Amino acid sequence: MTVSRTVELEGHIIDSGSMARCFGAVMDLGGEFDVEAFEVGRHKHEESYCRMTVSADTDGELRAIVHELNQNGATVADPRDATLEEAPADQVVPVDFYSTTNHPTEVRVDGEWLPVENVEMDCALVVEKGNDGSAPRVVTRVLNAIEAGDRVVTGETGIRVDPPERPRGKGSAFGFMQGGVSSERPSKSLIEEIAAEMRDVRDEDGSVLVVCGPAIVHSGGREALADLVRAGYIDALSAGNGFAVHDLERDLYGTSLGVDTETLEHPRKGHKHHIYTISEIGRAGGIEAAVEDEIVTSGVMYECIRNDVPYVLAGSIRDDGPLPDTITDAVEAQAAIREQAHEADLVLMLSTLLHSVAVGNCLPSTTKTVCVDINPATVTQLLDRGSAQAIGMVTDIGTFLPMLADELLEEV
């Protein structure tokens, strides 16, 4: 005896591939489907519709299939509200809690579809009661932020996800370049596209977040990035302890990880410069104090202080020091990164895999993302995290940043 549910798909489900993915998911998970209704959009602005019954041998198998279909945009054809269960304790969710994607999501509460606020992947959904008669809200909540009594969404009923669709027409690079990575791409034209987007974000009072790796300093891109911060094109910075240390080391000693970035020579005791730098900044009382005391007079961190650009330095087990400004509590660092990510309209991920993954986990799929790295595998991994609007460039960051700065600052 089998169990079954009816699901619906609507939108540009054919050319976007979502219908085929749903059919494949049912079969891969051992189920069967029966298409009850299928209406094909006959021009590029007309949407298609599919209703099908999905069946499986057990309730568990059916739940797994419906969950996978939900992630690909299918909605359970059921007018019921989402199922809510109270969290039994702090940091504990109900067994069948709904785990989010990074795509725009709606939840049906009291007969009304409510948009999920601050969408990000791998979170629970919590329905908060409105105060003073106001409407309820649906928010994402990381598991360690769950509190006893939170009303957590469970199951798949009353949830609909809007995954990205392949754009129609040429559009911008953020559309037609998505999903592919190649070092053969026309770098200059792509940089022009990125620069144009950054101008638009600035003109519309949006926010550009830059995620920085130490290779920016090692490869000679530091001055170009500092110029962009000073010119107002960067609104927030996220990095690890290493990036800030080497940026500051370059100012204090003219080296990055002990190597002179101009001559590529190894000065005597150069291998100690990074730890000397940490000591000097600690003695001053932090980066801001070092800038105010004119101990540090140039670089990316200097420009962030001088231009009130907020930054988050997230620590790791590998860090030397670390700097006084580095957040060493992992949960606290995650919360700070999450706040930056939720405010960003455009994110530049520059030569740092692990830190970019951390930021990318907090981003909705609708946030425009640029990833630049010399390693193709890094770019592919970051773009495959589900951004609907992404550019990937395999190139030297020391070449990319000066070209981007030239494009943006030529009008200044």
Sheet containing 151-154: order of strands: 83-86, 151-154, 124-128, 137-141, 112-117, 105-109, 159-161
> Residue 177 above 50 pLDDT?
no
For the stretch 119-140, pLDDT in tens is: 999 999 999 987 777 889 999 9
Q: What is the DSSP string of 195-254?
A: HHHHHHHHHTT--EEEEE-THHHHTT-HHHHHHHHHTT---EEEEEHHHHHHHHHHHHHS
pLDDT of residue 167: 53
Contact 119, 102 (CB under 8 A): yes
Contact 302, 281 (CB under 8 A): no
> Residue 335 above 80 pLDDT?
yes
For the stretch 226-248, pLDDT in tens is: 999 999 999 999 999 999 999 99
Residues 297 and 362 in one domain: yes
Task: Show the CA angle centred on residue 15, arms to residues 10 and 17, nearest 5°.
Answer: 75
> Residue 182 above 80 pLDDT?
no
CATH assignment at residue 149 = 2.40.420.10
| Mean pLDDT (whole number) for 168-191 | 59
> Residue 286 above 90 pLDDT?
yes
Is there a domain that residue 373 lies in?
Answer: yes
> Residue 174 above 90 pLDDT?
no
Domain count, the chain: 3
Residues 58 and 85 in one domain: no
pLDDT of residue 162: 85
Q: Residues near 181 by Cβ (< 8 Å), separated by ≥ 6?
A: 376, 379, 380, 383, 392, 394
Q: Please tell me which residue, 44 or 368, carries the higher pLDDT value.
A: 368
Residue 402: asked if its preceding bond is cis (omega within 30°), the reply is: no
Domain coverage including residue 67: 1-77
Q: Among 14-28, 229-243, 378-392, name the one with the lowest average pLDDT.
A: 378-392
Helix (H) or strand (E) holding 192: helix 187-203
> Residue 172 above 60 pLDDT?
no
Residues 68 and 85 in one domain: no
Q: Residues near 223 by Cβ (< 8 Å), separated by ≥ 6?
A: none
Is there a domain that residue 178 lies in?
Answer: yes
pLDDT interval class at 185 (50, 70, 90): low
Residues 34 and 183 in one domain: no
- On average, the pLDDT of the chain sits at 88
Residues 99 and 159 in one domain: yes
Is there a domain that residue 252 lies in?
Answer: yes
Q: What is the DSSP string of 354-371?
A: HHHHHHHTTS-TTSEEEE
pLDDT of residue 183: 58
Strands 105-109 and 48-56: unpaired
3-state secondary structure of 318: coil
Of 55, 77, 99, the residue at which a domain comes to its end is 77
Q: What percent of the chain has pLDDT above 90?
A: 60
Residues 31 and 56 in one domain: yes
> Residue 263 above 70 pLDDT?
no
> Residue 176 above 70 pLDDT?
no
Of 77, 107, 142, the residue at which a domain comes to its end is 77
CATH assignment at residue 259 = 3.40.50.10690
CATH assignment at residue 24 = 3.30.70.2690
Q: Residues near 48 by Cβ (< 8 Å), separated by ≥ 6?
A: 9, 10, 11, 12, 13, 14, 19, 38, 39, 40, 41
> Residue 387 above 90 pLDDT?
no
Is there a domain that residue 193 lies in?
Answer: yes
Residues 207 and 314 in one domain: yes
pLDDT of residue 410: 80
For the stretch 63-93, pLDDT in tens is: 889 888 888 888 888 778 999 999 999 999 9
pLDDT interval class at 300 (50, 70, 90): very high
Helix (H) or strand (E) holding 152: strand 151-154
Q: Encoding tokens for residue 62?
A: 């059916």
Is there a domain that residue 352 lies in?
Answer: yes
Report how far residue 240's alpha carbon sits from residue 352's, in angstroms, rounded to the nearest whole number: 9
- As a 3-state breakdown, the chain gives helix, strand, coil percent values, each rounded to 5, of 35, 25, 40
Q: Encoding tokens for residue 166?
A: 């392949």
Contact 326, 319 (CB under 8 A): yes
| Mean pLDDT (whole number) for 316-330 | 93
Q: Please tell me which residue, 178 or 194, carries the higher pLDDT value.
A: 194
> Residue 249 above 90 pLDDT?
yes
3-state secondary structure of 262: coil
Cα-to-chain-centroid distance, residue 84 = 28
Q: What percent of the chain has pLDDT above 70?
A: 91
Is there a domain that residue 266 lies in?
Answer: yes
Is there a domain that residue 168 lies in?
Answer: no
| Mean pLDDT (whole number) for 399-403 | 94
Residues 193 and 336 in one domain: yes
| Mean pLDDT (whole number) for 306-320 | 94
Is there a domain that residue 229 lies in?
Answer: yes
Residues 180 and 294 in one domain: yes
> Residue 178 above 50 pLDDT?
no
Residues 294 and 184 in one domain: yes
Residues 329 and 236 in one domain: yes
Of 61, 77, 93, the residue at which a domain comes to its end is 77
pLDDT interval class at 171 (50, 70, 90): low
Residues 231 and 370 in one domain: yes
| Mean pLDDT (whole number) for 26-38 | 91
- pTM attached to this predicted model: 0.84
